[in-house]
Structure 1
Amino acid sequence: MTVIRQAAAPGNQSEAPPSAQIVELAATLDLMAAAPLAAELLAARGAELLIDGSRVERLGGLCLQALLSAAATWRADGARLALVDASPEMLEAFACFGVDPDDLDSRETRI
C-alpha cells in the first residue's frame, strides 16, 4: 500500500514545496499493488507530487506502467511529479526494464 502525505519541513525531499504531496511507495509493487497505486495516483491529480521510492524492494511492470502513466499525465497537465529517494532495488528494476528514472520527472521534456 502507498501512503500519501503532505510535504512538511525540508528533509530528503528538500525540493518539496509545502503544498506538494508525497506518495511513499510500498516495498512490493507487484500485480496486486498496480490497481490501488493507479487509483491513489489518480486521486492526487492536480497536486504537485513527489514519489518516494526509498522502501521499494520489488517493482513489477504494471506498477512501473502506472508510474510512467502518472508522469505523462502530470506532464500534460503542466504539473510537477518527480521521483525522490529511489531505492537501489528500484533503480535496478528501472535498468532491467530499460527505463530511465528521469522518465518519472514531469519537468523533463521528452522528444
Structure 2
Amino acid sequence: MLRTVKLPKNLDTLAAASVLADIQGGKGGGLILDASGTQMIGAICASIIISSIKTWRNDGHYIALQGFEAVSNDLKILGLTELFEKKDETL
C-alpha cells in the first residue's frame, strides 16, 4: 500500500514531532513525502526526512519525495540540495 504524507507549510522545530509521527505511521509500506505546500524546512525536519528515506530503503520499501522545489534555497543553505534532488535514487 502506498501512503502519502502531506508535509506542513513550515518544517521547523515545532513541526518535528508531528512530522515524525506522520511518517512513522506509514512504516511497513510505500511512502510519498509531499512538500508541495511547504515553504520552509529546518535542519531537524530535514534530518527526520533523510533518516526516514534511509530507513524505508534499508527495509526494502518504496519512498519518494515530491514538491520540494519551494524549499530549495533552505536545502541549499543546509547543504542538502544534492540529496533532495535525487528523489527516487538511493541516498
TM tier relative to shorter chain? 0.7 to 0.9
- 1:71 positional shift: 0.3
Larger relative helix fraction: 2
Q: In structure 2, which of residues 10, 15, 31 is the aligned counterpart of residue 33 of structure 1? A: 15
Q: TM-score, normalised by structure 1?
A: 0.72
For 2:65, the equivalent position in structure 1 comes to 83
In the alignment, which residue of structure 2 is the partner of 1:15? none
In structure 1, stretches of 5+ residues that fail to align are 1-18
Bigger relative contact order, structure 1 or 2 (CA pairs below 8 A, ≥6 apart): 2
Distance 1:42 1:23 in 2: 10
Aligned to 2:79: 98
Q: How far did residue 43 of structure 1 move?
A: 1.6
Partner secondary structure for residue 78 of structure 1: coil
Q: Which amino acid is 2:76 matched to?
A: A
Which structure is larger by alpha-carbon Rg, 1 or 2?
Answer: 1
Aligned residues: 89
Q: CA RMSD in A?
A: 1.5
Indicate if the aligned counterparts of 1:56 and 1:87 stay in contact, CA closer than 8 A: no
Three-state SS of the structure 1 residue aligned to 2:33 is: strand
Partner SS state of residue 46, structure 1: coil
4+ runs deviating over 6 angstroms: none
Question: Which of these residues, 51, 54, 58, is aligned with residue 69 of structure 1?
Answer: 51
Q: Do the aligned residues in 2 keep the contact of 1:22 with 1:50 (CA within 8 Å)?
A: yes
CA offset at residue 109 of structure 1?
A: 3.0
SS in structure 2 opposite 1:50? strand
Find the residue that maps to 1:45 and give its secondary structure.
Answer: coil
Identity %: 28
